């Protein structure tokens, strides 16, 4: 624990970890394992400016008792190590709820266009067939994400869904995004599957790495509310906002790498310019706690919205993940407002049942958001898209903004990272890792981020390769 002796106090550790999100916690877990049964202990410390652990993987609770994540935190793991940690933390089977993913696009899904009006699905099929034929003779790699979309889905699906939806997610046009990050992040449609679905008038329900996922059934080495404001990499000292200092041998930082570069002295111009060239988007998360039941969407997990009649790009029926995410039906709550904002009784407390919706809205330099009207705009969007009815009673409202939420895979991102990350590690002995520490969206899920922390420790102590992040 940091000494309470006051300003000027110095604590010494072998490994200092900045940030208590998944990456920092992964590093801490690995250090605990390394120290287990060892006489010579590796000293370590986590500091985080927030008042709780979890970072972007955290969960908030409203005063009325509704729980909302920072976006959707379903768990589908690529790593046996991560699975073991989850099992260790929540060992009983009833600690988990297992779900088959049920997600929808309001107008269509790239494999599920059989339900569309004939004119629209004909346009989609025409584009898909042309794209398939073109793919047989094209050998060059797509220049950007937009070209990848057209090559893989054709112009029909590109115009109807992929372009407008991805703009709502990233806040930048698809022509400004690279396509190296895609992997299993974006589904390439299966032409045979689509044609079969059209002929049989059926739908594909299972796809992707999170087709089946888990969600938790329930919701002194880590020092919170300690903000690092300056780092001296030559003396290997981190300066905290309250005047205290931590001397380290190795530093694992999970703070936003652009912010990290800004608190380092004498950074070369090319590294500063590279950090300034990184792009991100902000996410606004709005949660609605509602009285009643979700009716038509009672079986759904999440839905995607490319249309412009709602500001959100994704909605999640959050209460479907676990009954413990909303108050028990016996709890009496007052109505905050009707969905259509018409006058209603806001003083009488009444019982449930209750359900919840979580809506996500992106913001960027290309895509501004009016925060003053956003809650009302989102609720109206829920009415427009049929998620709620005008008469639905809202009993709890949640609104939180996350400034750095999506690390945008722009065309120049890899060039920027190739300048920044090796400089930090090789010149300054700083491992910048995690969703925004390494700025790689394709390895930024909870399991990826956790493993970046594990592998950073192994690289620091034992020289083992960092498989998740890859070669810098």
Global pTM?
0.84
> 469, exposed or middle or buried, with CB in 10 Å at 0-12, 13-18, 19+?
buried
For 208: left if phi > 0, alpha if psi spans -120 to 50, otherwise beta; the answer is left
* Torsion, CA 309, CA 313, CA 314, CA 315, rounded to 10: -30
Q: What percent of the chain has pLDDT over 90?
A: 57
Q: Where are the domains of the chain?
A: 11-49+225-279+410-462, 100-104+282-407, 113-202
Q: Residue 96 has what pLDDT?
A: 42
Residue (of 79, 187, 94, 201) closest to 468 by Cα position: 79
Residue (of 255, 274, 305) closest to 49 by Cα position: 255
- The answer to whether residues 319 and 293 touch, using CB atoms and an 8 Å cutoff, is no
Is 190 or 81 the better-scoring residue by pLDDT? 81
Q: Is the pLDDT of residue 198 over 80?
A: no
Tokens 């004909």 locate to 122
DSSP H or E run through 80: helix 80-89
Distance of alpha carbon 98 from alpha carbon 94, whole angstroms: 10
Tokens 């991102």 locate to 413
Sign of CA dihedral 373, 256, 9, 40: positive
Of 46-55, 96-105, 233-242, 442-451, where does mean pLDDT reach its minimum?
Answer: 96-105
- The answer to whether residues 293 and 63 touch, using CB atoms and an 8 Å cutoff, is no
Question: Which DSSP state fits 300?
Answer: -
Q: Residue 410 has what pLDDT?
A: 96
10 Å Cβ neighbour count for 401? 15
Q: Residue 461 has what pLDDT?
A: 95
Distance of alpha carbon 400 from alpha carbon 267, whole angstroms: 34
Q: Residue 37 has what pLDDT?
A: 74
Q: Residue 230 has what pLDDT?
A: 97
Residue (of 23, 13, 10) closest to 239 by Cα position: 10
Distance of alpha carbon 188 from alpha carbon 186, whole angstroms: 6
* Beta bridge mates, 96: 216
Tokens 């899920």 locate to 445
Q: Residue 128 has what pLDDT?
A: 82
- The answer to whether residues 260 and 424 touch, using CB atoms and an 8 Å cutoff, is yes
Residue (of 58, 26, 279, 292) closest to 170 by Cα position: 279
Is 197 or 21 the better-scoring residue by pLDDT? 21
User: How many H-runs (helices) and E-runs (strands) does the chain carry?
Assistant: 12, 20
Q: Residue 208 has what pLDDT?
A: 44
Mean pLDDT of the chain: 85
Q: Residue 363 has what pLDDT?
A: 97
Phi, psi (degrees; rounded to nearest 5) at 129: -65, -45
Q: Which pLDDT tens digit goes with each residue over 374-432?
A: 999 999 999 999 999 999 999 999 999 999 999 999 999 999 999 999 999 999 999 99
Phi, psi (degrees; rounded to nearest 5) at 338: -80, 155
Is 343 or 301 the better-scoring residue by pLDDT? 343
| CATH-assigned architecture of domain 11-49+225-279+410-462 | 3-Layer(bba) Sandwich (3.50)
Question: Which DSSP state fits 410?
Answer: B
Secondary structure percentages of the chain, helix, strand, coil, to 5 = 35, 25, 45
pLDDT confidence bin for 471, thresholds 50/70/90: confident
Q: Which pLDDT tens digit goes with each residue over 20-63?
A: 988 998 998 899 889 887 778 899 999 999 888 878 878 899 99
Distance of alpha carbon 232 from alpha carbon 245, whole angstroms: 10
User: Looking at residues 71-89, what average pLDDT do you find?
Assistant: 67
Distance of alpha carbon 270 from alpha carbon 445, whole angstroms: 29
Q: Residue 69 has what pLDDT?
A: 84
Tokens of 357: 């919706």
């Amino acid at each position: 624990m940091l000494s309470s002796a006051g300003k000027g106090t110095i604590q010494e550790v072998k490994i200092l970890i900045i940030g208590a999100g998944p990456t920092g916690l992964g590093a801490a877990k690995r250090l605990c394992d390394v120290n287990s049964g060892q006489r010579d202990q590796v000293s370590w410390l986590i500091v985080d400016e927030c008042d709780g652990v979890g970072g972007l993987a955290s969960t908030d609770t409203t005063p009325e008792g509704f729980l909302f994540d920072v976006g959707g935190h379903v768990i589908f793991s690529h790593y046996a190590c991560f699975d073991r940690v989850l099992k260790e933390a929540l060992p009983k089977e009833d600690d988990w709820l297992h779900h088959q993913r049920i997600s929808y696009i309001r107008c269509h899904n790239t494999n599920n266009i059989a339900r569309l009006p004939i004119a629209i699905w004909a346009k989609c099929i025409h584009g898909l067939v042309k794209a398939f034929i073109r793919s047989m003779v094209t050998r060059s790699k797509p220049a950007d994400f937009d070209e990848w979309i057209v090559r893989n889905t054709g112009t029909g699906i590109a115009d109807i869904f992929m372009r407008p939806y991805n703009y709502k997610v990233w806040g930048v046009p698809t022509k400004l995004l690279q396509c190296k990050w895609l992997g299993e992040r974006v589904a390439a449609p299966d032409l045979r599957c689509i044609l079969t679905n059209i002929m049989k008038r059926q739908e594909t329900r299972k796809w992707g790495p999170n087709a089946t996922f888990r969600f938790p059934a329930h919701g002194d080495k880590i020092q919170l509310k300690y903000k690092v404001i300056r780092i001296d990499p030559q003396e290997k000292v981190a300066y905290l906002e309250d005047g205290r200092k931590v001397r380290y041998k190795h530093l694992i930082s999970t703070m936003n790498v652009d912010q990290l570069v800004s608190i380092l002295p004498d950074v070369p111009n090319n590294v500063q310019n590279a950090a300034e060239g990184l792009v991100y988007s902000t996410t606004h998360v709005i949660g609605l706690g509602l009285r009643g039941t979700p009716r038509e969407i009672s079986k759904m997990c999440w839905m995607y919205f490319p249309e412009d009649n709602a500001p959100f790009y994704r909605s999640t029926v959050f209460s479907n993940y676990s009954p413990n995410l909303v108050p028990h039906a016996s709890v009496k709550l007052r109505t905050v407002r009707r969905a259509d904002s018409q006058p209603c009784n806001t003083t009488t407390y009444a019982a449930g049942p209750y359900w919840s919706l979580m809506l996500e809205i992106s913001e960027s330099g290309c895509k501004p958001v009016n925060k003053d009207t956003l809650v009302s705009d989102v609720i109206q969007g829920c009415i427009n898209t049929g998620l709620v009815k005008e008469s639905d009673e809202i009993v709890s409202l949640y609104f939180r903004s996350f400034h750095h939420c999506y690390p945008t895979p722009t065309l120049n991102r890899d060039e920027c990272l190739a300048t920044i990350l090796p400089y930090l590690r090789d010149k300054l002995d700083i491992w910048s890792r995690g969703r925004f520490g390494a700025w790689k969206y394709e390895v930024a899920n909870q399991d990826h981020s956790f493993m970046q922390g594990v592998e950073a420790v192994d690289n620091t102590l034992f020289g083992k390769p960092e498989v998740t992040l890859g070669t810098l």
